[in-house]
Amino acid sequence: MNRNLIRAKELLGSGASLAIINGGGELTFSDRGIKSLLSLQTGSLMGAFVADKIIGKAAAMLLARGGAIEVYAEVISEPALKVLHDRHILCVYEKLVPNIINREGTGICPMESAVLTLSDTEAAYAVLCAKTGYAG
């Protein structure tokens, strides 16, 4: 694991749900879900090392779209791992699950479900913006 990814992982231990190391700068977020990833400026993930508590396919598509190069996840879904592997984004994780489950525990996360059949990151971004009401 790259030292930048190790540092991003350490930041998760101090209360962040998402940590990004890019160009020597550190960004941390405590929001749940993909809100933080959607709000990032274009290019802010280019060449970034990212640690996230939970990475489903929606988050993976946003990380790939943004240009992240190495990712750590405490929990990652199989569809998310495939997205990262297909785009040659190095990924280290603690737990691999079939899918991310919604907060009620009754089914697949609605964000993961929204992009499950998509392979194009721009299409996924558009779907996720529409689903969340984010005007990116």
Residue count (the chain): 136
pLDDT at 23 over 90: no
- Range 92-104 average pLDDT: 97
How far apart (Å, rounded) are the C-alpha atoms in residues 3 and 102? Answer: 32
Mean pLDDT of 91-110: 96
pLDDT at position 71, please? 98
- Rg over alpha carbons for the chain, rounded to the nearest Å, is 13
Q: Taking a C-beta distance cutoff of 8 angstroms, is the pair 77, 97 a contact?
A: yes
- The DSSP H or E segment spanning 5 is helix 3-12
Q: What's the angle, vertex CA 58, arms to CA 108 and CA 63, rounded to 5?
A: 150
**Burial (CB count <10 Å: 0-12, 13-18, 19+), residue 60:** buried
Overall average pLDDT of the 30-35 stretch: 91
Q: 3-132 falls under which CATH superfamily?
A: Hypothetical protein TM1506 (3.40.140.30)
pLDDT at residue number 54: 96
pLDDT in tens, 63-80: 999 999 999 999 999 999
Q: What 3-state class would DSSP assign to 27?
A: strand
Average model confidence (pLDDT) for the chain? 94
Q: Give the strand pairing for 70-77 and 49-55.
A: parallel
Given pLDDT bands bounded at 50, 70 and 90, which one contains residue 28? very high
pLDDT the model gives residue 136: 65
Q: Quick one: which H or E segment has residue 80?
A: helix 78-86
Average pLDDT over residues 116-131: 96
